[in-house]
Structure formats: C-alpha cells, structure tokens
Chains A and B, each alone.
Chain A
Amino acid sequence: MDKLFWNGLTDLGARVDNVQIFIIALMGVCFIACNAVLIYFMLKYRRKTDNDVTSTVSGNQLLEIVWTVIPAVIMLFVFWYGVTVWGDLRTPPENAMTINVTGVQWAWRFEYPDGRIEAEDLYVPKGEAIRLNMISSDVLHSFFIPAFRVKEDVVPSQYTQLWFQAEKEGSFDIFCTEYCGDNHSFMLGKVHVLGPEAWDRWVRRVPDPNSIPLTPVQRGEKLFSKWGCAGCHSIDGSPNIGPTFKSLMGRAESMSDGQNIIVDENYIMESINQPDRQIVAGYPKGQMPAFEGQLSQQDITDIIDYIKSVE
C-alpha cells in the first residue's frame, strides 16, 4: 500500500479519489464548523454564578430555513457528483476483454477467453480494459481490488460485473469482502498488471503442450450441438422457433409481458434455466424445456460465451 489517494493506477480510481477528497474536505469543514461553535459555546458560556443571566431565545425561523436548504443543496450536489463517476464505474467499454470469475469457498478462479484457467492470481495486460463477469459457486463473496477502487459482490445464480483498466505495472491485492466462512480472511489473491512484453510471454506460455484447453467458446459450441439448441435457435439470423443467437448479446428485445430489456448474461442464464419466465414477444411459451439443474454453472457460462461469439 503506497499512496492513500491518487495512486495513479487507474484513471477511474483517480476520479473516485477526487470525489472522496471533495467529501473529506466537506466533512472537515462541517465537522470543524459545528464543533468549533460547540466548544466555543461550551467555554464562553460556562456557568460563572448560579444566577447567570441567560437568554430566553427559543428559535429562529430564518435560521431553520437556512440550515435546511443549504444542507439539502449540498447533499444533492454530492449525490449527483457521486452518481456521475459511479456511472462510468458501472459501464465497461465495448472493447473490454471479458474474464470469467468464479468465487468458491475459499479461492478465486479466473478463466480467460482462450480457455486458460488461473486460480487466486489474476494476470491482466496494462492499458487494456478488463471486464470481470463473476458468479459464485457456493455462498456470497465480494471481489475487491482496493488499489483500483472497484468492488462487487459475487453471487450464486446471478452474474455480476466490474471493470478496470490498469495503467501501471505491478501486483495488487484482491480481497473477498463478503463474509463467507472460516477462511474468509484467507480468500486473497493478487492482480498482476503486465507490460506488453510480459503479457505476450504470459499469453504464449503453454503449461502443457499436449493438453491445450478448449476455449469457453469451443466448449459452448459443443454443448450447443449436444443439447440440440440448433433445432430452434439459428446462428445466422434466420427465423426459427426461438430467437436467433446472431448478435443476441446486447440486443434490445421486447418481452411478451410488455417489458423492454437489453439481453445480458443474466437474461440468457434465466432463459436456459427457466425459459418461460420471460419470453420474447411473438414467441410462444412452453416450447423450450427448462434446463434448471441439468447444466452445471460452468456449462451455462460456456454456452453464454458461445452465444456472445455468434455475431
């Protein structure tokens, strides 16, 4: 842990620190103003005799209005300032590299687009946007990189995400911040930010040439044919019994109940597990079997990665 503020590791982290410093300054001013007056009054009006003359003033309407309106305006401003920066924290760039993260008691597991799996330590290239698509295989966890000012809970049965773009090489702590049992405080890891050369070496490093792993997309494609998804879902955009997978991810769809949604990981997972919960308008219910309990979480993530790749 070097600098407490503005460690220069991510641009967004610096903007979060701007908000934080602004709030700390605001806190400081309010704290000193309130307590300076409090202590001044305590000393200045200290009882001298039992018959001290005291004021009978019991209120002032103008003051009440002033100290209602001013805090309200300040609060609105802080809220708005926080929301604008947070909005960017929540919006990964389009071109971000997605790494699948699984939280288990008590370790982190990272799967790269090329099928490579790392446990506990995350390796990322410098200067590239990284999006973590996270899910838990047991209880609640929370993925926290203090140096980058990012955190999000990792939940069973629901994908959550966070993103960052590291601008400096180095190794930084990863903590689990949602209590998850006996070894909660040992569910640690490091994120290693690698420069272009080191990253290249790391990418080309093949631990065992005989067992080059399938990528999640390849595994998803296999599952796609194994479970007969192609019977109803085309991959070239042509109409079929179910919606096509072509450019499905991120598409705006109208549901039969009138809702409009953007297709994301969580929607696809729900559609695999419980297809009839939300049906795209124009398609009949009851056509697709519910796969809840038949596919592992890993299978579902692989299928989603495959669907994402169909463009």
Chain B
Amino acid sequence: MSTHSENTHYLEAKGFNNWFFSVDHKRIGIMYLVAILFFFILAGIAAMVVRAELLYPGQQIIDRHGYNVAFTLHGAMMVFLFIVPGIPATLGNFCLPIMIGAKDVAFPRLNLLSFWIYLLGAAIIVFSLIGPPGESWLDTGWTLYTPYSVESSSGVIPVTLGVFVLGFSSILTGLNFVVTIHKMRAPGMTWHRLPLFVWALYSASLIQILATPVVGITLLLLVMERTFQIGFFTASLGGDPILFENFFWFYSHPVVYIMILPAMGVVAEILPVFSKKPIFGYRAIAYSSLAIALVSFFVWGHHLFVSGMSDWSRWVFSLLTFAVAIPTAIKVFNWISTLYKGSIQLDSPMLYACAFIFLFTIAGLTGLPLATLATDVHLHDTYFVVAHFHYTMQGGTVIGLLAGIHFWFPKIFGKMYSEKRARIGFWMLFIGFNATFMPQFVLGYMGMPRRYFDYLDQFATLHFMSSIGAFINGIAYLYIFGNLIHAVVKGRAAEKNPFGSLSLEWTVPSPPPLTNFDEIPIVTDWTYGYGTEQTV
C-alpha cells in the first residue's frame, strides 16, 4: 500500500469520539449497521415470542395482551428502525461515494446529523412502545389504526412523533444521496455509467424525500385532534377513521419501495461480478427503478380494498397496483438474462442474490391475487398477506442486505469470513424462511386472520409447521451473524478485490483509506464491462 502511505485506512482511529463524531461516510455506515442490526435482533426476538405462542392452539407462553404487544414490537421495530434505514443507510452510505469516485457524500456533517437523529427517533419509538412506567406497552400493531390506537393508549402520538423524527433522518440521507449523485460523480462517471446500486439508491432517495413529510402532516392532525378536539380521525368528533388509513398508507406504501429498491440494486451489482457477464438490460433496470418509485405513490389504496373506501377508488387502485408489476417483472427478466452464457461462481453473495430472485418471484406473484379485487376480498388481512409481505421484506430486502453484506464484507472490514460457514448459514436461512412462510399462504387461503392470539383447530398443523420454520430461521440468523462477527475479529486479511469486480470501490485497498481515493479517478467505461468473448 505504498501509494496510500500517509492515508491510513478508515478503521484505524479508535475510541468513542473518533466514531461518534466522525463525519466519514464509511464510519457512519458502520454505525448505522450496528444500530439497525441491534434493533433487528430485538424485533426478531419479538417474532420468536409470537411464533412460540402460536405453536399450539390456546395460551402457551404469554397472554393475549402480551401477544398483541409482541407483534406490535416486532412490526414497529422491524419496519421503522431496521428495514427503512436498512440498506441505504448502511451499505449505501459505505459504498455510494466510493462507487461514483467521490471522497465522501456531498454533506458529510448532515450525514452524521441524520445518524444522530436516527438514534433520537429510535429512542422515542422504543420509549413510546414501552410507555410510561405502570402503563401497558403499546398494543396497536405497527399500523396504529384509529380509533383503536387513540382509545387504547396514549402511545399513538409519541410513536408518530418518533416516526416523524426518524423521517427527518431518512429525508436528510435521501437528500444527501441525491445531491451526491448529481454533483459528486468523478469525471467520466456519466449517468449511464453509474452502477445500478446507485440508480436504486437514487430512486429510493426520491421516495424518502417526497413521502416522509406526510407523516409530519398526520402527526400534526393527530395533535390537533387531541388538543383542540377537532375531528379528523375519530368518529365521535365527526372525523373519519378511514382518513387515518389513507394517510398512514400514503407514507407506508411508498416506504415499502424504499425498502426493496436498494436490495434490487445490490442484486444487480452482484450478478455480473459472479457470472463475469455485463448486466443485461442496464437501462431497463435503471429506469424501472425510477418507474417503481413513481408508481409507488399511487397504489396505497390497495391496503383499503375492504375498508369501506368507495368502490370507484377500489377499482382505480387495483388497476394502478397492477402497473407496479410491470417494471418489477422487467427487472427479474433482466437479472436472469444476465446469467446467460456467464461463468457463474456460486459464492455466498451470489447464492443470496440468486435466492433473492427466487424468493422475489414468489413475493411478486403472490401479490397478484392481492391486487385482484375479487380474490383480495377473501385474502385481505389473512395470513396470506402476512406471508406475501414477509416474502418481499425478508425474502427480498433482508436477503438482499445479507447478499450485500457478504459481498462488501471484505471491502468494509478488510477481513474474510468463512465461506463454508456462510453457505451453511445461507441454506439454514433459506430452508427456515420458506418453512415459516409457505404454510402461511395456505393458512391465509383457509381464512386464518392475522393478529390472532389464538386460532381454531383446523389451523393447528400449519401453524405448528410455521413456528418450527421460524425457529430454524432465528437460529440461522445467529449462525450467520456469528460467522461474520468471528470474521471481523479473527478473519484472515482480505484482498483488495477478491471477487474480481470492476466497480470503483474495489480499486481502493480493503479496508479503504480515510479519503477513499488519493486522486479522484477518471472513469472511461461503465462498471459492467465483463465478458471475454471477442465478438460483438
């Protein structure tokens, strides 16, 4: 590393202050990673409690109120504290500037501020979920539907405040990324040479900036209703309870695409590297990210298909929801085509990427009966929806995050994990995940409603299977994280570019120096120039 003699690598400086006050995008990415994984584990424990309770009919380990608290904790922490910041704040923060040939994001201090705001928002959410001493924990479900949420506890305003504060973190990160992508690209890094992960982050950032303010409006209306008794959501004050559902999903549905788009971007990075092939249909993939971001704002109504919303609206939202399927399908076809005539190395990042495609086809296709009005009436709010949602969020986003972590791990930590154990972990997760959620599709079609503490005997076998799957799923995560933590501490030193990627982050040492590049690189080609064939 003689060329980087005076530029020490970013992990070198130790101590709390060197981390907590660091404006380095890489360190902020790591801090985010630690924070979101912490909440992932907490929320995961809540999920294990839920599944343990559902092992058999009747009460097992907690009472009905405890159960309602458990699924609320699981949902609220997973969604707001783990999966929304998920990939952008961690891998995005770490990789984005290096990938476009920049020394940092456009506003490094704003980046640190957004992390601090995240911590503040997380604290507000955790404390409002738990509630003041002596009061019961929040049991409204993460969706906080009025009027139940208003009647059952005082938690709805603090939680919304927490989401609002987190929203600022999200907006600032999104803003930072958008400006960085516009202004900080290295010479020659044109829009059509950008890595697809950057395109995905760009699309997700646009949603973050545009959708999040709606949470603020909702909060304001809730506070006004509580303080001045102006009826917005509460029927007894002359308000409309369905209005809250509209507001909630106007934010929360686009957010689903904040969660999934970056994972799609990660997959698009990994496939070409491990098949030594140019990405297939670069522009189609890039533009379909933008298309998904755009359409994502107009489909929230499909959460209200049986809510009492007008029939005319249901009709329109059904049509719009089908529109999302098209850019999504385009992505899947292009990913698969990338493998054609490649040289495919099934290392753990690639295994995760291929599993992402496999699971995401299930996630996407099971969306069809939910977008279709006639069948959604039956499936709405049943376990079918639970399974569909987890196929997109766990089978999609979490598998995508793990793909990205295994892919960039050598770059981030300069260490190599055990590939053998990574593969074992992958298969445990793959089996556990499918065993958990496959039975839930059938449960849903049989009519099993969601958020049920207890269930009728006809559902018992499938619930038992699902719970066993969930425990395998949980153990798999411990195994995977164990392998990675072991590697951080004791792993052998990683090479600069162990997977043979052409992207810019692999041209710098592992781990990267503090300022990424000694000299800003000049880009002359796109990052997917793989392939050895001399024709074409």
- Residues of B near A64 (CB, < 8 A) are 281, 284, 330, 334
- Residues of B near A142 (CB, < 8 A) are 306, 380-381
Q: Is there a chain B Cβ closer than 8 Å to A177's Cβ? A: yes
Name B311-360 residues within 8 Å CB distance of A: 311, 314-315, 318-319, 322-323, 325-326, 329-330, 332-334, 336-337, 339-346, 354, 357-358
Do the beta carbons of A38 and B374 come within 8 Å of each other? no
Q: A82-B374, A186-B454 are in contact. Are A4 and B366 (CB under 8 A)?
A: no
In the bound complex, CA of A27 to CA of B369 (Å): 9
Q: A57-B536, A79-B371, A179-B145 are in contact. Are A30 and B361 (CB under 8 A)?
A: yes
Do the beta carbons of A79 and B372 come within 8 Å of each other? yes
Do the beta carbons of A67 and B308 come within 8 Å of each other? no
Distance in angstroms from A143 CB to nearest chain B CB is 9
Q: Is there a chain A Cβ closer than 8 Å to B1's Cβ? A: no
Do the beta carbons of B242 and A4 come within 8 Å of each other? no
- Residues of B near A292 (CB, < 8 A) are 238
Q: Which of A34, A149, A183 lies in contact with B64, CB distance below 8 A?
A: A183
Do the beta carbons of A1 and B308 come within 8 Å of each other? no
Q: Is there a chain A Cβ closer than 8 Å to B528's Cβ? A: yes
Q: A41-B342, A274-B238 are in contact. Are A149 and B449 (CB under 8 A)?
A: no
Do the beta carbons of B278 and A34 come within 8 Å of each other? no
Do the beta carbons of A23 and B148 come within 8 Å of each other? no
Q: A139-B147, A144-B447, A181-B148 are in contact. Are A151 and B306 (CB under 8 A)?
A: yes
Size range of the chain B interface in the assembly: 35 or more
Q: Is there a chain B Cβ closer than 8 Å to A47's Cβ? A: yes
- Residues of B near A79 (CB, < 8 A) are 318-319, 322, 371-372
Contact with A along B277-297 (1 / 0, CB 8 A): 111111110000000000000
Least CB separation from B372: chain A residue: A82
Name B462-498 residues within 8 Å CB distance of A: none
Q: Is there a chain A Cβ closer than 8 Å to B522's Cβ? A: no
Do the beta carbons of A67 and B333 come within 8 Å of each other? yes
- Residues of B near A147 (CB, < 8 A) are 447
Do the beta carbons of A68 and B330 come within 8 Å of each other? yes
Distance in angstroms from A70 CB to nearest chain B CB is 9
Least CB separation from A139: chain B residue: B148
In the bound complex, CA of A111 to CA of B326 (Å): 47
Do the beta carbons of B315 and A83 come within 8 Å of each other? yes
Q: A42-B339, A72-B326 are in contact. Are A181 and B152 (CB under 8 A)?
A: yes
In the bound complex, CA of A47 to CA of B275 (Å): 8
Least CB separation from B367: chain A residue: A27
Least CB separation from A82: chain B residue: B372
**Which segment of A85-93, A120-128, A201-209, A213-221 sits at the interface?**
A85-93
Name A43-68 residues within 8 Å CB distance of B: 45-48, 51-60, 63-64, 67-68
Q: Is there a chain A Cβ closer than 8 Å to B18's Cβ? A: no
Distance in angstroms from B36 CB to nearest chain A CB is 26
Q: Is there a chain B Cβ closer than 8 Å to A9's Cβ? A: no
- Residues of B near A67 (CB, < 8 A) are 329-330, 333
Q: Is there a chain B Cβ closer than 8 Å to A78's Cβ? A: yes
Question: What is the size, in residues, of chain A's interface with B at 8 Å between Cβ atoms?
Answer: 84
Distance in angstroms from A9 CB to nearest chain B CB is 12
Contact with A along B14-48 (1 / 0, CB 8 A): 00000000000000000000000000000000000
Do the beta carbons of A175 and B377 come within 8 Å of each other? no
- Residues of B near A282 (CB, < 8 A) are none
- Residues of B near A155 (CB, < 8 A) are 235, 241-242, 307-308
Q: Which of B236, B374, B446 lies in contact with A89, CB distance below 8 A?
A: B374
Least CB separation from A188: chain B residue: B456
In the bound complex, CA of A68 to CA of B238 (Å): 46
Do the beta carbons of A177 and B380 come within 8 Å of each other? yes
Do the beta carbons of A146 and B318 come within 8 Å of each other? no
Do the beta carbons of A45 and B453 come within 8 Å of each other? no
- Residues of B near A53 (CB, < 8 A) are 343, 532-533
Do the beta carbons of A38 and B339 come within 8 Å of each other? yes
- Residues of A near B242 (CB, < 8 A) are 155, 158
Distance in angstroms from B328 CB to nearest chain A CB is 9
Q: Is there a chain B Cβ closer than 8 Å to A132's Cβ? A: no
Contact with B along A173-211 (1 / 0, CB 8 A): 101111111111110100000000000000000000000
Q: Which of B139, B308, B326, B368 lies in contact with A27, CB distance below 8 A?
A: B368
Do the beta carbons of A153 and B64 come within 8 Å of each other? no
Least CB separation from A84: chain B residue: B374
Q: Is there a chain A Cβ closer than 8 Å to B220's Cβ? A: no
Q: Is there a chain A Cβ closer than 8 Å to B520's Cβ? A: no
Q: A30-B361, A56-B531 are in contact. Are A1 and B330 (CB under 8 A)?
A: no
Contact with B along A137-162 (1 / 0, CB 8 A): 01110101011011111011110100
- Residues of B near A153 (CB, < 8 A) are 306-308
Distance in angstroms from B356 CB to nearest chain A CB is 11
In the bound complex, CA of A142 to CA of B238 (Å): 21
Q: A55-B342, A82-B318 are in contact. Are A151 and B365 (CB under 8 A)?
A: no
Distance in angstroms from A141 CB to nearest chain B CB is 10
Q: Which of A4, A51, A58, A177 lies in contact with B278, CB distance below 8 A?
A: A58
Do the beta carbons of B344 and A58 come within 8 Å of each other? no
In the bound complex, CA of A59 to CA of B340 (Å): 11
- Residues of B near A35 (CB, < 8 A) are 357-358, 361
Q: A158-B242, A177-B380 are in contact. Are A55 and B339 (CB under 8 A)?
A: no
In the bound complex, CA of A146 to CA of B454 (Å): 17
In the bound complex, CA of A3 to CA of B147 (Å): 37
Name B224-269 residues within 8 Å CB distance of A: 235-236, 238, 240-242
Q: Which of B336, B373, B532 lies in contact with A86, CB distance below 8 A?
A: B373
Interface centre among A1, A15, A182, A188 (most CB of B within 10 A): A182
Q: Which of A82, A160, A274 lies in contact with B373, CB distance below 8 A?
A: A82
Q: A38-B339, A177-B382 are in contact. Are A146 and B235 (CB under 8 A)?
A: no
Do the beta carbons of A156 and B235 come within 8 Å of each other? yes
Q: Which of B278, B451, B536 lies in contact with A179, CB distance below 8 A?
A: B451
- Residues of B near A144 (CB, < 8 A) are 381, 447, 449
Q: Is there a chain A Cβ closer than 8 Å to B445's Cβ? A: yes
Q: Is there a chain B Cβ closer than 8 Å to A26's Cβ? A: yes
Do the beta carbons of B453 and A185 come within 8 Å of each other? yes
Q: Which of A84, A138, A146 lies in contact with B447, CB distance below 8 A?
A: A146
Q: Is there a chain A Cβ closer than 8 Å to B276's Cβ? A: yes
Name A19-44 residues within 8 Å CB distance of B: 19-20, 23-24, 26-27, 30-31, 34-35, 37-38, 41-42
Least CB separation from A148: chain B residue: B378
Do the beta carbons of B381 and A158 come within 8 Å of each other? no
Give B residues with C-beta under 8 Å from A: 64-65, 68, 139-141, 143, 145, 147-148, 151-152, 235-236, 238, 240-242, 275-284, 306-308, 311, 314-315, 318-319, 322-323, 325-326, 329-330, 332-334, 336-337, 339-346, 354, 357-358, 361-362, 365-366, 368-369, 371-378, 380-382, 442, 445-447, 449-456, 458, 528, 530-533, 535-536
Q: What are 15 A-B residue pairs whose CB atoms fall within 8 Å in the complex?
A: A23-B372, A45-B343, A47-B343, A52-B343, A54-B343, A54-B532, A55-B536, A58-B528, A79-B322, A83-B318, A147-B447, A149-B378, A153-B307, A155-B242, A181-B139
Please name 7 further chain A to chain B contacts, defined as beta carbons within 8 Å, in addition to the given A54-B277, A82-B374, sorted by A numbering.
A23-B368, A57-B277, A59-B280, A68-B326, A76-B322, A142-B380, A179-B148
The 8 closest A-B CB pairs, nearest first, are A146-B447, A56-B531, A82-B372, A52-B343, A157-B235, A86-B373, A55-B341, A185-B452
